[in-house]
């Protein structure tokens, strides 16, 4: 059973941390931010770091630095994110659809009216597909040198699409989609766009929607915000000299003026890829600027010492060449080979940093064998041998130059890195030996536990966090994660206490209020939960999924008018919320508005075909919140899309006046009853298997609220995701 009891119940709450909560918006961070740390001697040197400064965009830079701007435009970073246009198209036509085996959905790319669309279908009994959804390609992420992945805009919010164009292969699934198909629901998080676009203006508390979205990684990513510099240049008297490489200019960061570690931080803000990233208090995804310490922004954690090959800066740090030159005046660093103000290196020029130390004469004296001398001649390609192109396991068809520089065959396949006890290893030294290292490790473990679906790790992290937070008044996000760990293990009262503590320390983010509302609902505190939802939505009305949960709470209370209003508002903001559309249908059905209900159900099933089975398992439930008086099958208003399970399949049936049956269950297993977002309501033991009777009450003793639910089988030795069926509860009062 293990992971099954909690793996979905935590997902909805922890999503606030993994997707939005950890990337606090600029407008929300002040409440929980500690007193600003004093500037160190490096930061204080630059006016655009020491004082608030606006971003101006690349066009302002190019006006004076035309040559540098033109050179930089040739680099992949400059083309890392942009709108898709026919003029910039590199993709070829798709020969045949790709099928995702676990879901049965097939995907293809089609041209229509000068645009590209990704189309999802599910084969039917005839040549006509039983299901079809299409989404337009609106934005491209990636220069195309290796790959291009795509995003579609829904009311301004960006969602990743299932298919990616790989330069050496063609069309295939986007990373992660072949294993866990997110279809069209994978939101573009701040953490991603922060490394593919230069500081977009983010909507408060709302990831994936940006009032201003700049194409590509621009000048200010490495030089910091440029308003002070531009103003100084415009106000300079005619003929005044302009500060260059030989003159220190305090109005803007020049990475050459930074110590080595700060120069590396500029690159590592995007070129370190770890399993877990925890923001420091008061930080958000867009406030790192060059000259600051990256370790003051994030706590990075690797999984068991593993180094991702796309973490180029991390791999470089393990190289003997880097370690040997780090203390010299000309260390081997990222910019030694990747100068953004020069054309990308060619095969002929990329050896130059190597031969600065390993001269032909030195190599000739070192290798007495003729074959070795020839292999290390002046025309040899150092990079292809000592930085081999390797396959990256997490990126389909992705090959990268491994930046761990080494002698082939002279070392193990992985560089030696410090490994500490536990599932995650700190990247920064302060998180290995600093005073708050145990606290951040426990926080990172909560995040990693959710990714690994490991209940023991949640327990371990909660046990570690609890004593570390005694008397703590500076880490509301640590209390938030403590609450998540408790919530994941069904300890609602402990979760409420932790969430309330985070709130008392100034955390009023909608994500925290939402998590607290969900925990209070588990305790039966419906009024408090409703008020928390109202407060969350007052901060950001466009949080459609939170509004849909608020509608669920109103639906549970019997406020059908209010529930309908909130469902419709949520769907107006985010029309792809299939579960909200289905639950709207239930509200309309309860209000005896059959035709509008059928329309809502049909929309939900078009978005998520699996919901069609719930129309064959509509349960009308009469009674109070604690006792079922009568349960009966309710005829669906849209019989055409009903999909009744086979007689031998796992299913849900009305069994008695106040009971239902789960049919065809295995022995010694569980039926997990969850909401569409994965919040676990109950685990019903199957005992000897076969037909299992259930009284429609949750583990808290309350009758299951009206809404859409998923019942899934899980048993010892069975698959991680067992057979499942959807059903719906229509409360009749």
DSSP alpha helix (H) spans, 558-593: 560-573, 578-590
Dihedral sign (CA 23, 26, 28, 34): positive
- DSSP category for residue 19: I
Q: What span, in angstroms and rounded, lies between the C-alpha atoms of 544 and 469?
A: 33
Residue pair 214/332 in contact (Cβ under 8 Å)? The answer is no
Q: What span, in angstroms and rounded, lies between the C-alpha atoms of 284 and 282?
A: 7
Q: Which residues contact 164 (CB under 8 A, 6 or more apart)?
A: 147, 148, 149, 150, 171, 172, 173, 174, 175, 396
Q: Output the CA angle 100-103-107, nearest 5 degrees.
A: 40
Task: Tell me the DSSP string of 142-201.
Answer: S-SSSEEEEEEEETTEEEE-SEEEETTTEEEEPTTTTTS--TT-EE--HHHHHHHSS-PB
Q: What span, in angstroms and rounded, lies between the C-alpha atoms of 530 and 541?
A: 15
Please tell me the predicted confidence (pLDDT) of residue 34: 43
Domain match, 124 and 248 both: no
Strands (E), 392-437: 399-401, 424-426
Domain match, 58 and 136 both: no
Domain match, 230 and 140 both: no
**Hey, what are 640's tokens?**
């055409």
Q: Name the 3-class secondary structure at 724.
A: strand
**Hey, what are 368's tokens?**
């007495």
**Hey, what are 705's tokens?**
């609220």
3-state helix, strand, coil in the chain (%, to 5): 35, 20, 45
Element (H, E) at 87: none
| Residue 98 CB-density burial (10 A; 0-12 exposed, 13-18 middle, 19+ buried) | middle
Q: Which residues contact 332 (CB under 8 A, 6 or more apart)?
A: 316, 319, 321, 322, 325, 353
**Hey, what are 167's tokens?**
């330069």
Q: What span, in angstroms and rounded, lies between the C-alpha atoms of 489 and 99?
A: 36
**301 inside domain:** no
Domain match, 726 and 687 both: yes
Residues of the chain with pLDDT under 70: 1-37, 124-128, 238-246, 304-310, 392-394, 410-421, 640, 642-645
Q: In 3D, which of 725, 673, 723 has the Cα closest to residue 703? A: 673
Domain match, 156 and 228 both: no
**528 inside domain:** no
Q: What span, in angstroms and rounded, lies between the C-alpha atoms of 69 and 72?
A: 5
Domain match, 226 and 211 both: no
**482 inside domain:** no
Residue pair 131/610 in contact (Cβ under 8 Å)? The answer is no
| Backbone phi, psi, residue 530, to 5° | -60, -45
Q: What span, in angstroms and rounded, lies between the C-alpha atoms of 691 and 664?
A: 6
Residue pair 203/223 in contact (Cβ under 8 Å)? The answer is no
Using alpha carbons, list the distances in angstroms from residue 17 to 457, 550, 712.
Answer: 17, 19, 26
Domain match, 138 and 168 both: yes
- Exposure string (b/e) for 427-464, b if CB count within 10 Å is 16 or more? bbebbeeeebbebbbbbbbbbbbbebbbbebbbbbbeb
Q: What span, in angstroms and rounded, lies between the C-alpha atoms of 361 and 678?
A: 65
CATH number at residue 636: 2.60.40
- DSSP category for residue 203: B
Residue 99, beta-bridge partner list: 106
| Backbone phi, psi, residue 203, to 5° | -70, 140
Q: Give the structural domain span for 164.
A: 81-216
**277 inside domain:** no
pLDDT digits (tens, 9 = 90+) for 94-122: 989 999 998 899 999 999 988 999 999 98
Using alpha carbons, list the distances in angstroms from residue 414 to 332, 354, 388, 406.
Answer: 20, 22, 13, 11
Please tell me the predicted confidence (pLDDT) of residue 3: 34
Last residue of a domain, one of 389, 416, 443: 416
Domain match, 232 and 130 both: no
Q: In 3D, which of 319, 303, 607, 235 has the Cα closest to residue 444? A: 303
Q: How many CB atoms lie within 10 A of CB 240?
A: 9
| Residue 354 CB-density burial (10 A; 0-12 exposed, 13-18 middle, 19+ buried) | buried
What is the value of pTM for the model shown? 0.90
Residue pair 340/346 in contact (Cβ under 8 Å)? The answer is no
CA atoms within 13 A on the CB side of 463: 6
Q: What span, in angstroms and rounded, lies between the C-alpha atoms of 550 and 544?
A: 10
Please tell me the predicted confidence (pLDDT) of residue 145: 85
DSSP alpha helix (H) spans, 469-543: 476-488, 492-504, 510-522, 526-539
Q: What is the dihedral of CA 158, 163, 169, 175, to 10 degrees?
A: 70
Last residue of a domain, one of 216, 248, 269: 216
**689 inside domain:** yes
Q: What span, in angstroms and rounded, lies between the C-alpha atoms of 195 and 212?
A: 15
DSSP alpha helix (H) spans, 391-475: 430-433, 437-452, 455-468
**450 inside domain:** no
- DSSP category for residue 597: H
Residue with tokens 């055409």: 640
**716 inside domain:** yes
Please tell me the predicted confidence (pLDDT) of residue 568: 98
**343 inside domain:** yes
Domain count, the chain: 4
Please tell me the predicted confidence (pLDDT) of residue 308: 64
The rounded radius of gyration (Å) of the Cα atoms in the chain is: 28
Domain match, 250 and 346 both: no
Domain match, 227 and 209 both: no
Domain match, 361 and 326 both: yes
Residue pair 193/200 in contact (Cβ under 8 Å)? The answer is yes
- Exposure string (b/e) for 11-43, b if CB count within 10 Å is 16 or more? bbbbbbbbbbbbbbbeebbeebbeeeeeeeebb
Angle at which helices 476-488 and 510-522 pack, to 10 degrees? 30
Residue pair 315/415 in contact (Cβ under 8 Å)? The answer is yes
Please tell me the predicted confidence (pLDDT) of residue 22: 40
pLDDT digits (tens, 9 = 90+) for 628-670: 999 999 998 987 676 666 777 899 999 878 899 999 999 999 9
Q: In 3D, which of 166, 156, 158 has the Cα closest to residue 139? A: 158
Residue pair 681/706 in contact (Cβ under 8 Å)? The answer is no
Q: What span, in angstroms and rounded, lies between the C-alpha atoms of 286 and 283?
A: 8
Last residue of a domain, one of 386, 416, 446: 416
Q: What span, in angstroms and rounded, lies between the C-alpha atoms of 431 and 439?
A: 9
Q: What span, in angstroms and rounded, lies between the C-alpha atoms of 274 and 415?
A: 16
Domain match, 185 and 112 both: yes
């Amino acid at each position: 059973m293990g992971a099954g009891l909690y793996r979905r119940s935590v997902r909805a709450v922890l999503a606030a941390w993994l997707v939005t909560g950890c990337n606090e918006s600029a407008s929300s961070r002040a409440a929980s931010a500690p007193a600003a740390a004093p500037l160190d001697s490096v930061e204080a040197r630059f006016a655009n770091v020491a004082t608030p400064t606006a971003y101006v965009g690349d066009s302002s830079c190019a006006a004076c630095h035309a040559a540098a701007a033109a050179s930089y435009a040739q680099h992949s970073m400059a083309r890392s994110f942009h709108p898709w246009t026919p003029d910039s198209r590199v993709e070829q036509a798709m020969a045949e659809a790709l099928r995702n085996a676990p879901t049965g959905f097939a995907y293809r790319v089609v041209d229509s009216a000068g645009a590209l669309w990704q189309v999802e279908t599910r084969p039917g009994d005839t040549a006509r597909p039983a299901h079809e959804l299409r989404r337009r390609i609106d934005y491209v992420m990636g220069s195309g040198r290796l790959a291009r992945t795509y995003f579609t805009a829904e009311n301004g919010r960006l969602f990743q699409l299932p298919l990616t164009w790989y330069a050496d292969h063609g069309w295939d699934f986007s990373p992660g989609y072949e294993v866990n198909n997110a279809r069209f629901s994978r939101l573009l998080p701040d953490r991603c766009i922060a490394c593919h676009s230069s500081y977009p203006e983010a909507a408060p508390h709302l990831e994936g929607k940006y009032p201003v979205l700049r194409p590509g990684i621009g000048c200010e990513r490495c030089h910091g915000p440029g308003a002070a510099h531009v103003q100084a240049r415009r106000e300079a008297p005619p003929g005044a000299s302009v500060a260059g490489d030989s003159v220190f200019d305090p109005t803007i960061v020049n990475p050459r003026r930074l110590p080595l570690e700060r120069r590396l931080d500029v690159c590592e803000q995007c070129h370190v890829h770890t399993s877990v990233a925890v923001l420091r208090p008061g930080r958000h995804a867009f406030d790192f600027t060059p000259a600051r310490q990256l370790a003051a922004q994030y706590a990075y954690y690797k999984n068991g010492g593993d180094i991702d090959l796309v973490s180029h800066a991390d791999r470089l740090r393990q190289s003997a060449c880097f370690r040997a030159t780090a203390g010299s005046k000309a260390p081997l660093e990222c910019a030694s080979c990747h100068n953004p103000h020069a054309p990308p290196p060619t095969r002929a020029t990329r050896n130059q940093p190597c031969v600065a130390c390993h001269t032909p004469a030195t190599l000739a004296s070192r290798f007495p064998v003729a074959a070795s001398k020839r292999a290390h001649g002046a025309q040899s390609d150092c990079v292809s041998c000592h930085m081999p192109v390797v396959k990256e396991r997490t990126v389909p068809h992705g090959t990268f130059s491994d930046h761990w520089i080494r002698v082939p065959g002279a070392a193990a396949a992985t560089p030696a890195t410090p490994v500490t006890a536990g599932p995650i290893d700190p990247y920064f030294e302060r998180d290995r030996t600093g005073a708050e290292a145990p606290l951040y490790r426990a926080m990172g473990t909560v995040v990693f536990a959710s990714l690994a679906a490991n209940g023991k790790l949640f327990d371990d992290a909660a046990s570690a966090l609890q004593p570390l937070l005694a008397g703590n008044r500076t880490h509301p996000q640590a209390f938030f994660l403590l609450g998540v760990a408790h919530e994941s293990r069904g300890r609602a009262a402990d979760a409420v206490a932790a969430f309330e503590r985070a709130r008392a320390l100034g955390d009023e983010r909608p994500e925290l209020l939402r998590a607290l509302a969900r925990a209070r609902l588990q305790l039966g505190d419906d009024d408090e939960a409703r008020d928390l939802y109202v407060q969350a939505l007052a901060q950001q009305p466009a949080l459609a999924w939170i509004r849909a949960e608020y509608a669920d709470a109103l639906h549970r209370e019997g406020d059908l008018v209010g529930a309908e209003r909130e469902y419709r508002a949520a769907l107006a903001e985010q029309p792809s919320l299939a579960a909200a559309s289905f639950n709207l249908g239930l509200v309309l059905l309860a209000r005896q508005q059959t035709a509008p209900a059928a329309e809502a159900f049909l929309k939900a099933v078009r978005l998520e075909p699996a919901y069609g089975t719930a129309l064959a398992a509509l349960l009308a439930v009469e009674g109070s919140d604690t006792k079922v008086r009568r349960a009966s099958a309710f005829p669906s208003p849209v019989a055409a899309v009903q999909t009744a399970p086979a007689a031998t399949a796992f299913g849900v049936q009305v069994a008695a006046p106040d009971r239902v049956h789960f049919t065809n269950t295995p022995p010694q297993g569980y039926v997990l009853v969850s909401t569409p977002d994965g919040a676990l309501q109950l685990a019903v033991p199957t005992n000897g298997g076969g037909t299992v009777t259930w009284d429609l009450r949750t583990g808290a003793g309350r009758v299951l609220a009206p809404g859409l639910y998923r019942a899934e089988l899980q048993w010892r030795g069975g698959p991680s995701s067992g057979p499942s069926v959807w059903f719906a509860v229509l409360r009749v009062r």
